[in-house]
Structure 1
C-alpha cells in the first residue's frame, strides 16, 4: 500500500561539518534562528538516524552528505534509501556559525520503492539489556572482550581517530578525558569503573594509531599505561554486528566517514544502565550516574 506523501518530523543534529566555521560554538538559547530549504536523497537509515545526500543550500552549506538525528525514531520506518525529500532547515545562528541544526516539514517527493524492507536492522540500546561479549583489539595489541569488565561500571563510546568534526569524535574523547580525570579524584570509585573508546575504522586505527591517539587525550602520551581507559577496535568481520547492536550508523569510506553517535553506560552485571545517542551529555552528569551504578 503506498505511504502518505507527507511526513512531518524534527531532526536534531549537532555537526560542525555544516557550519561555515570549524570552530566549536556555544548553544545559546538566545541565538537567532535561521531557516533554509533543502532537497536531497536519503542515503541510509537506522533505528534513529537518517543520512541525507543534500543539494547545496545557498548561504548555509555546499552540497554534502551528512547524518541527522531523528527526534522521533519511529519516523525512520517511513524513510528509505533512494527516497527524495524536501525539508526546512532550522538552525541557531551564533555569529558566523550555525548550531542545533534540525529538519522540519519533511516531504517525501519521490518514493524509491513501496514497502521497502531495509537490509540491516539496528538495535536501539535500552536499560536492562544484556550486552553481547564483543571482542576487540586494543592499543596494546591485546584482545579484550566486554565480559571481562563485569564487576566494574563500564562507559564506552564510538570514535575514529581521523574524524575532523569538533562536535563528534573529538568532543566524545574530550568528554571521556574529563570523566577519567573526575573518576581519578575518587580512588575507590576509580577502581570500580573503566572507560572504553571503540573505533569503527579498524583498517586505519591499528593498535599503534590508537595508542598514540589515546595517549594524547589522557595527556600522558608515551607514558600512558592504559590501566583505566582502553582504545580498541573490532575486526572488520565483527564490526557490523557491534555497530548495529549499539546503533552506530556509518556511511562513506576512507578518510571521511559520516556517522551517528552512541555512548553507553554498562553496569557491573553487564547490562545497560543508560544510552546517550548524541553529543549533549555532560561529563559531570555521567560521572554521577557511574557513581550511582557503582553503589559508591
Structure 2
C-alpha cells in the first residue's frame, strides 16, 4: 500500500461542538479549516475511524478519549490497539465550535504489534542516552558540534524563527532567556553551562536571521556576542537524523508555517541525556534546579 510521508508531532486538538440538521432557513457562519496536532494511544479502530486516548493540550483541551474520522481510511490497516501515534488534526471552525474533525498524516511512534515497521523511526530521548555529535551552523556562520560542549551542561531546545504560536517557540525562547539571565547571575554555574536553540528550518533560518532573532531574545540585539547561548541549525541533509533522535516532528502547515512538536533536552557534562521535556509545561526554575543538581 502506498503511504504518504509521516512525521512526529507533539501538540494536540479538540472537538468543541457539533451542529446537525441545521434548517435550510438558518444561515450558518462560514467555516475555516484549522490544523493542529495530536499524540495519543489507539484504543480501537473501524473501517473509517480511530478511537484515540489523546494527551492534554495546555490551554486548549484536557486529555480525553474520543473518536476521530480518518481523512485517509486506507491507513486503518496500519493502526493497532495499543499503538502510540501522532497525527495532524484537521477541524472546520464554525463560529465558536469545531466540526468535521479528522486525522491525517498519522505516524506510529510506538507499536503494539511487532510485525509493523513504520517508514521513519523516532527515538524517544531517555536519561543515560549518549547524544550523537550533531553538527550545526550557528548565528555567527560557524560550524559547531555537540561534542565540543562536553564538560559543560547543555540545555537544548528546538524552534524556528517564524513560529507564531505563543506557547510554542516563543515560549521556549522566553524560558531560555530567563534561564540564561539566572545562570549569568551565578558566575560559577554560568561557566559550567551552555544553551543551544536549534532551528528545524534551515532554508529560512540563515545565520543572519538567527543572529537577529537571538539578539532580540537576549536583549542585547546587535551587541550580543553569543558566548553562552547559540542559535544554530543543522544542514538539510542532517536535519532528519537530528529531529528523529530528539523526537521532533515537522510538517508544512498553513501559510508557509510549520506544524511541529516540542523537545527540550538537558545534556550532562559526559554528553549523556539527563532529562527530556516533550511539552511546554516545564518551568525555568524546574530546569535551573536540575542544572544545579547536575553541576553539584
TM over 0.5: yes
Structure 1 residues 175 and 90, CA gap change in structure 2 (3 angstroms): closer
Change (3 A) 1:90 1:176: closer
**Residues 101, 157 of structure 1: CA spacing in aligned structure 2 closer, same or farther, 3 A cutoff?**
same
Instruction: Point out where structure 1 has 5 or more consecutive residues left out of the alignment.
Output: 1-41, 93-97
Residue pair 2:55, 2:63 contacting (<8 A) in 1 also: yes
Counterpart position of 1:169 = 169
Bigger Rg over Cα: 2
Contact 2:10/2:262 (8 A) holds in 1: no
- Report what 2:178 is aligned to: 178
For 1:106, the equivalent position in structure 2 comes to 66
Matched residues, number: 241
Contact 2:127–2:273 (CA under 8 A) maintained in structure 1 = yes
Secondary structure of the structure 2 residue equivalent to 1:165: coil
Cα drift, residue 99 of structure 1: 1.5
Give the structure 1 partner of residue 252 of structure 2.
252
Counterpart in the other structure of 1:10: none
- Cα 1:137–1:57, aligned 2, differ >3 Å: closer, same or farther? farther
1:282 Cα offset (Å) = 0.5
Q: How much does 1:86 deviate?
A: 6.7
Q: Matched residues in 2 for 1:245 and 1:179: separation? A: 24
Compared CA separation, residues 108 and 241, structure 1 to 2 (3 A): same
Q: CA deviation at 1:103?
A: 5.3
SS, match of residue 156 in structure 1: strand
State whether residues 140 and 207 of structure 2, in contact with CA within 8 Å, keep that contact through their aligned partners in structure 1: yes
Distance 1:85 1:102, change over 3 A: farther
CA distance in 1 between counterparts of 2:153 and 2:54 reads 39
* Match status 1:198 vs 2:207: no
Q: 1:276 to 1:50 in 2, by over 3 A?
A: closer
Q: Within 1, Cα distance between the matches of 2:55 and 2:249?
A: 23
State whether residues 10 and 260 of structure 2, in contact with CA within 8 Å, keep that contact through their aligned partners in structure 1: no
Kept after mapping to 1: 8 A contact 2:150/2:271: yes
Pair 1:268–1:85, CA change in 2 (3 A): same
Return the offset for 1:105.
2.6
SS of the residue corresponding to residue 61 of structure 2 reads strand
Deviation of the 1:292 alpha carbon = 1.1
Structure 2 SS opposite 1:99: coil
**TM-score (ref. length: structure 2):** 0.72
Q: CA deviation at 1:107?
A: 2.9
Equivalent residue of 2:59, what SS?
strand
**Structure 2: stretches of 5+ with no match in the other structure:** 20-28, 79-115
- Report 1:18-33 matches (<5 A): none
Q: For 1:63, what is the secondary structure of its paired residue?
A: strand
Alpha-carbon offset, residue 64 of structure 1: 1.8
TM-score (norm 1): 0.72
- The answer to whether structure 1 residue 132 and structure 2 residue 162 are counterparts is no
For the pair 1:262 / 2:263, whether they are aligned, the reply is yes
The alpha carbon displacement at 1:117 in A equals: 3.8
Q: Secondary structure of the equivalent of 1:181?
A: helix
CA distance in 1, matches of 2:238, 2:48: 30
Does the CA-based 8 Å contact 2:158-2:200 persist in structure 1?
yes
C-alpha displacement of 1:112: 2.3
Match 2:37 to one of 50, 64, 67 = 67
Distance between the aligned counterparts of 1:223 and 1:167, measured in 2? 27
Could you say what secondary structure the match of 1:101 adopts? coil
For each residue in 1:178-222, what CA deviation from the matched residue of structure 2 results, as whole angstroms up to 9, or x when unmatched? Answer: 000000010000000000000000000000000000000000000
Alignment partners' CA distance in 2, 1:134 and 1:277? 20
* Residue in 1 that maps onto 2:155: 155
